[in-house]
Amino acid sequence: MRRGIAAAVAVTAFTISASACSSDSSGSDNAGPVTITWWDTSDATNEAGTYKALVKEFEKANPDIKVKYVNVPFGDAQTKFQTAAGSKGAPDVLRADVGWTPGFAKSGFLTPLDGTPAATEADKFEKNLIEQAAYEDKLYGVPQVTDTLGLMYNRELFTEAGIKEPPATWADLKADMATIKEKTGVDGFAFNPQAYYVMPFLFGENTDMVDARDQKITLNSPAAVEGVDTLNDLLKAPGVRKLDTTSNAYANIMDAFSSGKVAAIVQGPWENANVFKGSAFKDKENLGIAPVPAGSKGQGAPLGGHNLVAYAGSDEAHQKASQKFIAFMTSAASQEKVAVTNGTLPTRKDAYSVKVVSNPGIDGYEDLLAGGVPRQPLPEYSSLYTPLETHLIKIISGQEDTAGGLDKAAAEAKRLLPDYSTS
């Protein structure tokens, strides 16, 4: 998962130029190297350079394969790929959010990777991440990077406020916010009002947006109401930063935390590199990483990340080249380089080398992965974030009451899942 979850599920039409897509005929008649196209959805400023360098390494090791690298903004990529795949012009390989994989597979856009060179080391990967890359018992992606949400906190500010341990529950965080504000003058906590960041509040009440096994929408269940009420209560407490619902909310919150104007946020490891650029974290050891606080029924955070998937519309030569490329990009050596340079989490245990875990951000989040809640294997799952976010903002802004707002969100979810019942 990454910046702007809501943008990842927006439905907007885009036209893709043929030059950016696959179906390059080079190599199909054995006249020369095969050229495959890869759409990379990583951050163009802070992450893409590492992947471009790996592409060059791959081409050097595989002179019969050329890779056409295209960086596609994450917020646009889902719809762009759907449009391109529907017209048989998609890239050979896509860096896909884990939430997109089931939907693309159901639509027939992806080719299974079981038994191919791309998946020969599948047993090296975290088991729950492989599960997230599968749909209907077939593997459609290989996990490239992973993430989960944790509580990022400023150790120096916590110490200055006399707080020795990170909060274990939302009630603890509520108390700590007030103490930090009183003792340091700094806001204790800031919340990003996107649906993805409310998931720990739902998991803390042992619920989710939907129950795919029982075919039931649970967005408006009593447990979900309790979870959102917990969040709403927290946001009204002393020491919380004023709620930001502008289009720049995400960047504003990150700037405030990185510069030491906010003591704690709920965030993922994809922001490690940016955080360490901030004035408050010149000493990387000042960054604390803890599990998201627990609700009344327990603790949990969404497990996210990105898979490398292969387009089903490519010919045999491009499929084979794509499989080699996916294997290379998800190898332990490649993942180690990405982790060291970009500060993101590897998806396989053998990539957590001494160099990788020397980054306190990675070391901290690695410990949280075991508690991550896998995405349900439902093609429409990611689309459920849209109605949840629409009404979440209205609820925490005081425009709707919790139960009424979640009832509306569930009704909108019902349009996506007409065969599902609601709470």
Tens-digit pLDDT profile for residues 306-327:
999 999 999 999 999 999 999 9
Which has more confidence, 11 or 370? 370
Instruction: CATH 3.40.190.10 in the chain: give the residue spans.
Output: 5-147+304-373, 150-302+378-422
> Strand 210-211 to strand 216-217: parallel, antiparallel, or no bridges (unpaired)?
antiparallel
Strands (E), 58-133: 65-71, 93-97
The CATH number of the domain covering residues in 5-147+304-373: 3.40.190.10
Q: What is the pLDDT of residue 131?
A: 87
Provide the token pair at 140. Answer: 């459609």
The residue ranking higher by pLDDT, 418 or 343, is: 418
The predicted structure's pLDDT at residue 176: 98
Query: What crossing angle do the helices spanning 332-342 and 48-61 adopt, rounded to 10°?
Result: 150
pLDDT of amino acid 399: 96
β-sheet bridge partners, residue 57: none
User: Does the pLDDT value for residue 401 go beyond 80?
Assistant: yes
Please give the full DSSP string across 154-179, using - where no structure is assigned. Answer: EHHHHHHTT--S--SBHHHHHHHHHH
CB atoms within 10 A of CB 235: 18
Six-digit token pair at 295? 């609700």
Would you call 284 exposed, middle or buried from its count of C-beta atoms within 10 A (0-12, 13-18, 19+)? middle
Q: How many CA atoms lie within 13 A of 187 on its CB side?
A: 20
d(CA 387, CA 408): 8
Asked if the model's pLDDT at residue 260 lies above 50, the reply is yes
Q: Which helix (H) or strand (E) holds 54?
A: helix 48-61
pLDDT at 132: 87
Lowest mean pLDDT among 16-25, 229-238, 246-255: 16-25
Answer positive or negative: Cα dihedral of 113, 114, 120, 124.
Answer: positive
65 three-class SS? strand
pLDDT band per the 50, 70, 90 thresholds, residue 126 = confident
Instruction: Say how far apart CA 396 and CA 240 lie, in whole Å.
Output: 13
Highest mean pLDDT among 1-10, 17-26, 174-183, 269-278: 174-183
The Cα 115–Cα 104 span in angstroms is 20
CA distance 96 to 86: 16
Q: What is the mean pLDDT of residues 379-406?
A: 96
Average pLDDT value for residue range 363-384: 89
pLDDT above 90: residue 374: no
User: Which residue type occupies 9?
Assistant: V
Question: What tens digit of pLDDT does each residue of 142-179 get?
Answer: 999 999 999 999 999 999 999 999 999 999 999 999 99
- What DSSP designation does 357 have? H
Return the structure tokens found at 164: 């020795």
- Band (pLDDT 50/70/90 cuts) for residue 10 is very low
Beta-carbon neighbour count of residue 306 at 10 Å?
29
- Percentage of the chain lying above the pLDDT 70 cut: 93
CB atoms within 10 A of CB 211: 17
What are the residues whose beta carbons fall under 8 Å from the beta carbon of 211, sequence distance 6 or more?
A: 218
Residue 31's pLDDT is: 60
State whether the Cα torsion 384-386-390-396 is positive or negative.
Answer: positive
Helix (H, G, I), strand (E, B) or coil at 249: helix
Helices (H), 150-294: 155-160, 170-184, 199-203, 222-235, 249-258, 272-276
Confidence at residue 30, expressed as pLDDT on a 0 to 100 scale: 52
Mean pLDDT within 44-72: 97
C-alpha 86/C-alpha 364 separation (Å) is 41
The whole model's pTM is what? Answer: 0.82
Checking if the pLDDT of 377 tops 90, the result is no
Residue 416: its pLDDT value, please? 96
Rounded to whole angstroms, how far apart are CA atoms 27 and 356?
Answer: 38
150-302+378-422 folds as D-Maltodextrin-Binding Protein; domain 2 (3.40.190)
Q: What is the mean pLDDT of residues 47-58?
A: 97
